[in-house]
């Protein structure tokens, strides 16, 4: 709200944001701990997918999960990527965090498909047939998938809309406001002139210049197309959320919010006045990476955010929360402080910059309250002691990964001692699926890539010692025998987590089918197919969503966590 106050010089106006003390959990989660699925959606393809898992696949997976007793589906960030090749494969390095990637649209479920001519239908079927052949590839091909999908969507876009649909589209654009105009303008200019936008004429590098306004008029049809894509993709994700709650989930879709954006993306162009130039975000050296990390993302400027009453931050949160029942905030510690690295310097030469956490966490709580959503903070890594207590006081859930939960830095922490207000899981996307982790996949891959700081033998021995400490506890509890198979060990680890008081337990979809391959290997770029691997079985053979839903292995694992309700 805006407050007007009389002063000696007249009247002054300023926005005031009133935030709740806590984010409330849904009654179903308060009364009984819940479990749900965790997935990299693009990797979970069905027979109807165009080479990439999409919003309809999410609805299918989630509806199936609801029938098994799941209460949520946590997905990777759905943020928009580049509208032209080469699309950045990492969902954690998007062009914008406010708008979604139209790659996730299911073309056949756009309502205007019903009004196409036979010839137009045939053209879309050709594009679909080409794209579905991508389902047989060993690695995901986002660019080819988007090329086919975009061509088909342009045909649908040209179809006349009913008055009701046209009015809905106009209202969507009005609600999205200037942010959508800027994003769609950037996309249109990218399609016309290419990337990087730093190579555009200087006047076009300013989203508020008269030249940019003229370019927007020249490319008006293309600007409308990219606005329309956002309308369609957001509607399809909203439909998926409605389907999951109708199927019985108490939470539904949990979206993921990335730490930042690509320095060459639309946010870096449109929000340059609130992003810091000349620096990038990362992490200081720690036990897992002695060289530190540079995530190649420009950070928010805390002073400019405050000057704008946090409007860009509020708009970003609102978009995601209106499509879901929850939000996972990657590196939520970034709402307190971020490791700024000057351009040209190594990650070891950075420094922490503080943010107004009261404002950032308060606004997050407010938007979650308005949406009736939960918030999960990924609070791993280097964390000040008081921060987790503060997040708990505000009702935000933390994150507990079984392999990282240790007492005295070595012995495994008993699950009974985990935090109650957290999402507990066996693994995360920066580790191999559990079957792979148990077999040392993360060590083998890092050795092949030359990333091990010590010898292979020493690293393997230390890793085996830590894993054996956990497995020994499983045996002492009678959860596995001495000769347990890898599948039995995986199921027992999930059963082990059911002993924790954690309100949420996450089951990784790759663990349902025995997948072993790491989806992302930190410290690499093109040396490893990060974010490009489809869901696969224990023999590394790609699987379809239909295979998951009839998998006996999946049903056995689900039985292991079924006692959560």
Distance CA 560, CA 565 (A): 12
Find out whether 387 and 333 touch, Cβ atoms under 8 Å.
yes
In angstroms, the Cα distances linking 107 to 81, 121, 152, 286, 506 are 18, 11, 7, 45, 30
Distance CA 480, CA 483 (A): 8
Q: Residues for the chain: how many in total?
A: 565
- Sequence-distant (6+) residues with CB within 8 A of 476 are none
DSSP assignment letter at 452: -
Per-residue pLDDT tens for 490-506? 999 999 999 999 999 99
Per-residue pLDDT tens for 157-205? 999 999 999 999 999 999 999 999 999 999 999 999 999 999 999 999 9
The structure's pTM equals 0.95
Q: Based on C-alpha coordinates, what's the Rg of the chain?
A: 24
Residue 5 confidence class, pLDDT cut points 50, 70, 90: low
DSSP letters for 130-164: HHHGGGGSSS--HHHHHHHHHHHHHHHHTSPPPHH
Per-residue model confidence (pLDDT) at position 525: 82
DSSP letters for 392-422: HHTT-BEEEEGGG-EETTTEEPPGGGS-SSE
Flag whether pLDDT at 33 surpasses 70.
Answer: yes
Distance CA 57, CA 65 (A): 12
Per-residue model confidence (pLDDT) at position 523: 78
Flag whether pLDDT at 24 surpasses 60.
Answer: yes
Flag whether pLDDT at 564 surpasses 70.
Answer: no
Q: For residues 277-300, give the mean pLDDT.
A: 86
Our separate counts of H helices and E strands in the chain read 19, 16
DSSP assignment letter at 515: -
Q: For residues 27-42, give the mean pLDDT.
A: 93
Flag whether pLDDT at 475 surpasses 80.
Answer: yes
Distance CA 288, CA 409 (A): 13
Distance CA 533, CA 128 (A): 21
Angle between helix 456-476 and 486-497 (nearest 10): 60
Q: Is 467 helix (H, G, I), strand (E, B) or coil?
A: helix
Flag whether pLDDT at 519 surpasses 90.
Answer: yes
Q: How many CB atoms are closer than 10 A to CB 433?
A: 27
Whether residue 86 has a cis bond before it, omega within 30° of 0: yes
């Amino acid at each position: 709200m805006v407050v007007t106050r009389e002063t000696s010089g007249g009247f002054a106006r300023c926005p005031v944001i009133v935030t709740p003390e806590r984010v409330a959990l849904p009654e179903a989660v308060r009364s009984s701990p819940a479990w749900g699925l965790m997935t990299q959606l693009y990797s979970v393809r069905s027979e109807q997918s165009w080479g990439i898992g999409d919003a309809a696949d999410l609805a299918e997976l989630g509806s199936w999960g609801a029938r098994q007793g799941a209460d949520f589906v946590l997905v990777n960030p759905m943020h928009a990527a580049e509208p032209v090749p080469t699309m950045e494969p990492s969902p954690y390095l998007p062009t914008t965090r406010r708008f979604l990637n139209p790659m996730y649209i299911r073309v056949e479920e756009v309502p205007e498909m019903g009004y196409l001519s036979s010839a137009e239908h045939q053209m879309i079927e050709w594009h679909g047939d080409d794209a579905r052949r991508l389902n047989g590839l060993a690695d995901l091909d986002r660019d080819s998938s988007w090329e086919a999908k975009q061509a088909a969507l342009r045909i649908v876009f040209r179809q006349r809309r009913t008055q009701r649909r046209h009015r809905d589209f106009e209202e969507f654009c009005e609600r999205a406001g200037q942010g959508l105009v800027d994003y769609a303008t950037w996309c249109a200019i990218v399609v016309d002139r290419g990337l990087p936008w730093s190579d555009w004429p200087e006047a076009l590098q300013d989203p508020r210049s008269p030249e940019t306004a003229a370019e927007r008029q020249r490319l008006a049809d293309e600007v409308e197309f990219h606005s329309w894509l956002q309308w369609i993709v957001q509607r399809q994700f909203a439909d998926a959320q409605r389907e999951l709650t109708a199927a019985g989930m108490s939470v539904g879709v949990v979206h993921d919010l990335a730490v930042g954006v690509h320095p060459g993306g639309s946010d870096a162009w449109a929000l340059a006045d609130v992003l810091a130039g000349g620096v990038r975000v990362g992490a200081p050296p720690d036990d897992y990476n002695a060289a530190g990390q540079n995530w190649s993302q420009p950070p928010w400027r805390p002073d400019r955010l405050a000057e704008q009453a946090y409007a860009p931050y509020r708009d970003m949160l609102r978009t995601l929360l209106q499509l879901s029942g929850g939000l996972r905030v990657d590196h939520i510690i970034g709402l307190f402080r971020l490791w700024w690295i000057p351009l040209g310097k190594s990650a070891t030469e950075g420094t922490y910059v503080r943010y107004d956490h009261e404002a950032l966490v308060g606004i997050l709580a407010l938007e979650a309250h308005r949406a009736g959503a939960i918030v999960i903070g990924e609070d791993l890594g280097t964390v000040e002691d008081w921060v987790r207590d503060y997040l708990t006081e505000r009702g935000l859930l933390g994150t507990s990964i079984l392999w990282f939960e240790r007492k005295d830095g070595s012995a495994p922490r008993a699950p009974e001692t985990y935090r109650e207000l957290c999402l507990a899981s066996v693994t995360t996307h920066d580790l191999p699926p559990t079957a792979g982790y148990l077999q040392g996949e993360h060590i083998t891959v890092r050795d092949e890539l030359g990333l091990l700081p010590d010898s292979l033998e020493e690293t393997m021995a230390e890793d085996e010692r830590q894993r054996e400490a956990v497995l020994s506890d499983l045996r002492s509890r009678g959860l596995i025998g001495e000769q347990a198979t890898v599948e039995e060990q995986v199921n027992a680890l999930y059963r082990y987590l059911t002993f924790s008081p954690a309100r949420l337990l996450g089951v990784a979809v790759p663990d349902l089918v025995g997948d072993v391959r790491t989806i992302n290997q930190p410290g690499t770029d093109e040396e490893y197919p990060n974010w490009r691997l489809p869901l696969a079985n224990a023999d590394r053979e790609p699987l379809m969503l239909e295979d998951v839903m009839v998998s006996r292995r999946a049903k056995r694992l689900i039985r292991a966590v079924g006692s959560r309700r």
